[in-house]
Amino acid sequence: MKIAIIIAHPDDETLGCGATIAKHVKQGDEVYILALSNGVSSRIKHNTTDIENRRTAFFKATNCLGVKQENLTLLDFPDNQFDTVSLLEITQAIESFLTGKFITRIYTHFFGDLNIDHRITHDAVLTACRPQPKQSVKQIFCLETVSSTEWASHSFSAFKPNYYNSIEDEFSLKISALSVYQEEIHEAPHTRSIDNINAIAKFRGMSVGIALAEAFYIERFIDC
């Protein structure tokens, strides 16, 4: 199976589905990751070193998960300003990334996230993967990103997962990968703390009678 993770920022892949990525790699699936922006340039105090450090962290974290470096793509759309770029431009970048890969399943952001880049990434993925004849993408799963999915306005549809992936054997790899993104992890009771990430994995797992899980909302699933 060929899998693509299409996310707005480096670290979203590990936060949202790091253990699932590691599980796909273990199962022999071919995994590709596209990050659409550098994830740090919107910050008031940033420089080229910060951008390069995030790029390096992206490579290290995904290596922890088992993804080949040649399967990584990092673009430079304006961080936290995807709404200043046409949806067409982002969609075309995704289409270009997908060309020739014959991807079956995509993991991307949930449409109701607080972060504007996440919402636009979701829309661009659906646009790029319109279910036309000869479309290789048969499955689109939306991931849960701490400090965005649960912080969204209550006027948005809540994240209600309908797919759970057991990650007991892969969860330690997710934690190892997250440790690479040191500046993104905070002390409890911050939602983006290791304590909370552990709690969510336990909650999602025990919701369906297993120890640990990553949960997803299925946007599309064609059994292939």
Give the pLDDT confidence score for residue 43 in this predicted structure.
Answer: 75
**Residue 60 burial by CB count (10 A; 0-12/13-18/19+): exposed, middle or buried?**
middle
| Residue 44 pLDDT > 80 | no
Q: Which residue has the higher pLDDT, 39 or 219?
A: 219
Domain count, the chain: 1
The 10 Å CB-count burial string (b at 16+, else e) for 87-111 is eeebbebbeebbeeeebbbbbbbbb
Instruction: Please report, for the domain that includes residue 11, its CATH number.
Output: 3.40.50.10320
Question: pTM of the full predicted structure?
Answer: 0.96
> How far is it, in rounded angstroms, from Cα 211 to Cα 192?
21
> Residue 216 is encoded by which pair of tokens?
């997803």
Give the pLDDT confidence score for residue 39 in this predicted structure.
Answer: 86
Confidence label for 104 from pLDDT (cuts 50, 70 and 90): very high
> How far is it, in rounded angstroms, from Cα 105 to Cα 103?
6
Could you tell me which residues come within 8 angstroms of residue 116 by beta carbon, excluding any fewer than 6 positions away?
80, 81, 82, 83
Confidence label for 130 from pLDDT (cuts 50, 70 and 90): very high
Q: Containing domain of residue 120, as a range?
A: 2-221
